[in-house]
Amino acid sequence: MDYSEKLKYHYRPNKGWVNDPNGHVWFGGYYHVFYQHCPDFEIPWQQPMHWGHARTKDFLSWEELPIALFPDEEYDGNGCWSGTAIEKDGVLYLLYASVRSAEKIQTVSVAYSTDGINFRKYEGNPVIKGYPSDGGPDFRDPAIAFIDGKYYCVMATGNPDTKTGRLLLYSSEDLFEWKYVGIMSEWEGCMYTECPSFMATGDSFLLAASVCPLKSKHYFSLMFGRFENEKFIPEHIAEVDKGPDQYAGQVFRDDRGRNILISWIPGWKYKGFAPTDVGCMSVPREIRIVDGKITAYPIEELQHLLTDSDPALVRTENGFVIERQGREPVVYEGEIDDLKMIRDGYVLEVFVNGGEEVFTALL
């Protein structure tokens, strides 16, 4: 397996470490994707996190843009961490987790741009200065939504005393002054949540989050439901992407009304296999409810890349096996009515039964 091979359809920067995708948004005639980035190193923790930036018109060809956010202020000197983007009155706003250098206090800050490339940080940062008593020190990943004339910010956190992972809700009229509303959703027996997404979608609402239990592996929860009295009531819940190489998914609603998910395909396990980091972004997947089930399936622009087979995937009597170099194989057992996949160099993404289940693997 050639881990130095340049990927065709899975975005990654030309150099440097990449992890969580941030700030998916349609702005100025382009789809913009930001991401956690260490521009000078191929492994993390060697320098504070930046926001890398790329844009595309079709998700097939990508333009890498200048770094959007540098950790150059006292309040974000320990990193410009994950967040989301939103357009307001022709201006693109980024809300991100800003971590103060010495104390490593996690706060929320704002940057904005009129051209979608050059960003200025708000002089009143941070706009959310710390976690409330319902949360805990792990307090990050602001997810922004505009609903019924009001801006909402969903914060990922956990409460160490109650051992619950929580999503906390804030509201604002202008993206700068934020009021704490309360607990929006929570999960028992968890350390915390991460990487939420929240939006209105048709006559429903979509909420997504990575949930980190105390005694089991993290999972990515996709939920459709109601938003009433500023609380989320789930009606459909699924853990569609089974990994094993998937994390930090973020969903956004595009100009065509599609709910599009892009996740990070992490290269943690492949350190030393290649001279550079092998992590990348997943292909974009449209999130829908089909026959009462949540599905994640490649968007229309990439469906011509789907195939029925791949040398790394072996069909079995009751499922399939994905063989990986130097790692345990991925084994699936279950009924298969339809099986499609996208192969791009050392990355394989498999879609079972129209995207009812997804398997993302570095080979």
Question: Mind telling me the catalytic residues?
Answer: 20
Amino acid at 68: A
At 23, list the tokens. Answer: 């700030």
CA distance 175 to 40: 32
CA distance 232 to 182: 11
Could you tell me the strand order of the sheet in which 357-362 lies? 241-244, 357-362, 347-352, 339-344
CA distance 264 to 35: 9
CA distance 192 to 32: 28
Nearest to 297 by CA among 222, 238, 335, 353: 353
Q: Which residue's entry shows tokens 């089974």?
A: 242
Question: Cα dihedral sign for 240, 244, 246, 248?
Answer: positive
Q: Which residue's entry shows tokens 């320990």?
A: 78
Give the β-pairing of 285-290 and 259-265: antiparallel
